Chains A and B, each alone.
Chain A
Amino acid sequence: MTKNNQIVLEMEHINKTFPGVVALDDVSIDLRKGEVLGILGENGAGKSTLIKILAGTYLKDSGSIIIEGKKVDFKNPAEAMDEGIRVIYQELNTLENLTAAENIFLGEQELRKPFPIISWKKMVEESKRILKQLNVDINPNTVMEDLSVSEKQVIEVAKAISKKAKILVMDEPTAALSEGDKDSLFEIIKTLKESGVSIIYISHRLKEIFEITDRVTVLRDGKKIQTVNTQDSDDNELVTMMVGRDISEMYPKRKVPIGEVVMKVKNLKAEEVEDVSFELRRGEILGIFGLLGSGKTHLVKALFGANPIKEGEIYLKGNKVNIKKPWQARDNNIGLVPVDRKMDGLALMLGVKENITLANIQDLGKGFLIKKSVEREKANRWVKNLGISTPSINQAVNSLSGGNQQKVVLARWLESGSKVIILNEPTRGIDVGSKVEIYKLMQDLCEKGAAVIMISSELPEILSISDRILVISRGRITGEYSTEEATEEKLMQTACIR
């Protein structure tokens, strides 16, 4: 890369507050032409908010954005697009029934002038040119659903650069990719860099940051910690900046005696779940690791009765159980903390108290009516025990921070007396301090005789907190490791077995 210090983008003193949370607190970044700037931070550090402000999706509260010396003020995504800002989000946004070429030119079809008729020939030719420029071999006429996840992602990149792209933002682009696919993505990033595109690369995976970025800005709890040249830094420095504490404090692990088998799953088949068997023991934290699309969330839903079980058996303490609906799971003392807290976990408009008692409304007094004193007492107890920080138990949960919201969901299942608690990505989108508290709570539960299934795609988390790790890929268990033998590489490799 030629040394080029021309600054393409400056975001200065950006502030953004959501009800109850300061998402960004005086954050400034700058981006040079043709560089890859990493933005590193834990979930909830403010990475996504920063990007959404750049993309015009969120309005900033204060601060300024300067692109090539010109101050801009985006009111919507279209205005940001006009300035050459392209964002590729973590979740792919491709239309499955259309061809690759149609997706690349979505909304911007080449027209056969002077008539408003789409020129299919020109569109396909242009797509070929762009894909060639990215050094990939994909037929533009292929229907999207026939492409692999990584190929779909390439199409997203092609779509982003089909129109004059100055700044390309990639939000956790490797979340669904295997090691090999990741390498080819990095090749594409290098090609783009050489052609003068500036790239913001968001990740919380250190290895990738060292592999691909020139500089890296670390965010923590909505604040910018520092920007460093990647080659002048190392793992330790970045981690310390990122979590603000030592790794051993980050993942506290206690020895809890592990007892008898409390849950046994035998040859389970359900939607996206091909054949899953495992045992769960009292006092154990069983980690399940899998990439996006591995079937992990479907497995959770099947275990909890939210998705129908096609074949296979579930035993609790040796007795076969028939769980067809979530209330049967609840009555069998199984609890679920879903992956999407806001969509699946909480009734956001309702208060802390209502959300804590949501799974056990029947227990709020005898007969038809709710006994308010019983409910208040229960809610207060859990707010105190779990240290949920809220002005009152009547506060609507949507104004709580992610960590406190997660504790509310957890409190619901503690109130329900769950003995098997399934947590799907328990620390997604919550600040570092709350993460540590969640880990401690999980282990408290184990000490009290419960068993925990923790689904996670966070490697450090799953490696440090689990007692045993299962790896799932394409709906099958592809590996089982004790904590001692597990490493990041082994888990990633096993997760990519098809």
Chain B
Amino acid sequence: MAHNQEEAGVKKEKKFYISNTVTLVIVLIAMFVFFSLTSTHFLSTYNIVSMISNLSFMGIVAAVLTMVMISGEIDFSIGGNIGLTSVVAAILVDSGIPGWLVLILCLLMGCAIGVFNGFLVTVVGVNSIIATVGTMSVWRGLAYTFSDGRSVLAVDPVIDFLGRGNIVNIPFPIILFIIVFALCYVVMNQSKWGRKIYAVGVNPMASFLSGINVKQVKFLTFVLCGLAAALGGLILTSLSMVGMPQHGQGLELTIISAILLGGTALGGGKGQILGTLTGILILSVLLNGLTMLDVYYYHIQIAQGAVLVAVVATYEVRQKRLQQ
């Protein structure tokens, strides 16, 4: 942590300093141009819209998880949370409970999951990696238990609208995605609470000794993260029309990759909501573009991993160069 602090913040008095986020945007545009030129279908409205709809539930979770990570913690249980929410939503719909109530209940459950994670980390004092890797497995296990390992059909007008509805021709998940990102952006860049999140991530002790309730700040980010994952789970259920205990499996790593790609530091204190947005877009464009080019899925996985490592490696190299 201390090491991290010394490394960062050295950016000063450099005339041509291009921020990491700008670099990422350039990478994104380059990829976009590349796929537009090489694939006939990539640039079609249909493809772009469906790509963004599909990434929107990930993006919502990523935006809020970025706040958790800037505060210096992490939440691995988001994937398990998505699976559990999806199963619970489908079972509730199946038992005839109205859609709007299912929605509220599931979001409340998401909050409760966040409360539990936050309690483990801030009150009990368990390291957040250990705590949430543990609860990740618990949520997933509960999802399998409740559904008996099967998929449950979830057809209800309210739930349907969440993932597949449109407002003035714009898919509803995209609208949600934009709203969540905008809110997170305002919180992190303009609000008092966002300032506290950054301060706590940069130096929890100095923040505590300045009268900031460090535990409360972190706790609240966990609760919001649980809520965001539940919303993501609901959208995913809606998109696929079924509640499945496998929903969101492995998603935590994809989302964390996107956040790291976007320049957020694992140690906390450093990161940008817009960076995460770019990170998510890069990973999605890569996946979508390569699929359009008929690249074998196994190879796409290699490409995604390679991009993450390559980009984060350039951050380190740039950081070292800046220090000299």
B207 within 8 Å of A (CB atoms): yes
Contact B206 A345 (CB under 8 A): yes
- B54: shortest Cβ distance to chain A, in Å? 32
Count contacts on A: residues with CB < 8 A to the other chain. 37
Measured CA separation A365–B199 after assembly (Å): 18
B9 within 8 Å of A (CB atoms): yes
Which residues of chain A come closer than 8 Å to B191, judged between CB atoms?
368-370
Which residues of chain B come closer than 8 Å to A369, judged between CB atoms?
186, 190-192
Known interface pairs A348-B203, A370-B190, A370-B195; A358-B5 also in contact (CB < 8 Å): no
Stretch at the interface among B39-47, B61-69, B208-216: B208-216
Which residues of chain B come closer than 8 Å to A13, judged between CB atoms?
none
- B317: shortest Cβ distance to chain A, in Å? 18
Measured CA separation A372–B10 after assembly (Å): 23
The interface bits of chain B over 1-34 (1 if a CB of A lies within 8 angstroms of the residue's CB, else 0) are 0100110111111000000000000000000000
- A334: shortest Cβ distance to chain B, in Å? 10
B140 within 8 Å of A (CB atoms): no
Contact A349 B9 (CB under 8 A): yes
Count contacts on B: residues with CB < 8 A to the other chain. 32
Contact B212 A358 (CB under 8 A): yes
A364 within 8 Å of B (CB atoms): yes
B209's partner among A344, A368, A370 (CB-CB below 8 A) is: A344
Interface residues of A in 49-67 (CB under 8 A from B): none
Interface residues of A in 170-213 (CB under 8 A from B): none
Contact A350 B199 (CB under 8 A): yes
A330 within 8 Å of B (CB atoms): yes
B269 within 8 Å of A (CB atoms): yes
Which residues of chain A come closer than 8 Å to B202, judged between CB atoms?
347-350
B193 within 8 Å of A (CB atoms): yes
Known interface pairs A326-B211, A344-B206, A359-B211; A350-B198 also in contact (CB < 8 Å): yes
Contact A343 B213 (CB under 8 A): no
The interface bits of chain A over 399-418 (1 if a CB of B lies within 8 angstroms of the residue's CB, else 0) are 10000000000001000000
Known interface pairs A368-B191, A368-B192, A398-B5; A306-B208 also in contact (CB < 8 Å): yes
- B212: shortest Cβ distance to chain A, in Å? 7
B218 within 8 Å of A (CB atoms): no
A142 within 8 Å of B (CB atoms): no
Known interface pairs A361-B196, A362-B192; A349-B209 also in contact (CB < 8 Å): no
Contact A347 B199 (CB under 8 A): yes
Contact A326 B209 (CB under 8 A): yes
Which residues of chain A come closer than 8 Å to B207, judged between CB atoms?
347, 358
Which residues of chain B come closer than 8 Å to A38, judged between CB atoms?
none
A289 within 8 Å of B (CB atoms): no
The interface bits of chain A over 300-319 (1 if a CB of B lies within 8 angstroms of the residue's CB, else 0) are 00001010000000000000
Which residues of chain B come closer than 8 Å to A348, judged between CB atoms?
5-6, 9, 202-203
Measured CA separation A466–B83 after assembly (Å): 64
Known interface pairs A398-B9, A399-B9; A361-B192 also in contact (CB < 8 Å): yes
B211's partner among A327, A345, A349 (CB-CB below 8 A) is: A327
Contact A399 B211 (CB under 8 A): no
Contact A19 B10 (CB under 8 A): yes
Interface residues of B in 170-223 (CB under 8 A from A): 186, 190-193, 195-196, 198-199, 202-203, 205-213
B270 within 8 Å of A (CB atoms): yes
Which residues of chain B come closer than 8 Å to A150, judged between CB atoms?
none
Known interface pairs A349-B9, A398-B9; A343-B205 also in contact (CB < 8 Å): yes
Which residues of chain B come closer than 8 Å to A362, judged between CB atoms?
192
Which residues of chain B come closer than 8 Å to A350, judged between CB atoms?
9, 198-199, 202
A104 within 8 Å of B (CB atoms): no
A290 within 8 Å of B (CB atoms): no
B195's partner among A327, A330, A343, A354 (CB-CB below 8 A) is: A354
Known interface pairs A326-B211, A329-B211, A369-B192; A349-B8 also in contact (CB < 8 Å): yes
Interface residues of B in 84-134 (CB under 8 A from A): none
Closest A residue to B1 by beta carbon equals A343
Contact A347 B211 (CB under 8 A): no
Which residues of chain A come closer than 8 Å to B198, judged between CB atoms?
347, 350, 354
Contact B203 A347 (CB under 8 A): yes
B213's partner among A325, A354, A358, A370 (CB-CB below 8 A) is: A325
Measured CA separation A365–B323 after assembly (Å): 36
Which residues of chain B come closer than 8 Å to A19, judged between CB atoms?
10, 12, 323
- B280: shortest Cβ distance to chain A, in Å? 24
Known interface pairs A346-B206, A354-B199; A399-B12 also in contact (CB < 8 Å): yes
Interface residues of B in 210-261 (CB under 8 A from A): 210-213
Closest A residue to B198 by beta carbon equals A350
Which residues of chain B come closer than 8 Å to A304, judged between CB atoms?
209
Which residues of chain B come closer than 8 Å to A398, judged between CB atoms?
5-6, 9-10
Which residues of chain B come closer than 8 Å to A326, judged between CB atoms?
208-211
Interface residues of B (CB under 8 A from A): 2, 5-6, 8-13, 186, 190-193, 195-196, 198-199, 202-203, 205-213, 269-270, 323
For the complex with contacts A306-B208, A349-B202, A399-B12, 5 further pairs of A-B residues with Cβ separation under 8 Å are: A345-B209, A347-B203, A347-B206, A361-B195, A361-B196
| 5 nearest A-B pairs in the assembled complex, by CB-CB distance | A330-B211, A396-B9, A349-B9, A327-B211, A347-B202
Interface residues of A (CB under 8 A from B): 19, 304, 306, 325-327, 329-331, 336, 338, 342-350, 354, 358-359, 361-362, 364-365, 368-370, 372, 391, 395-396, 398-399, 412
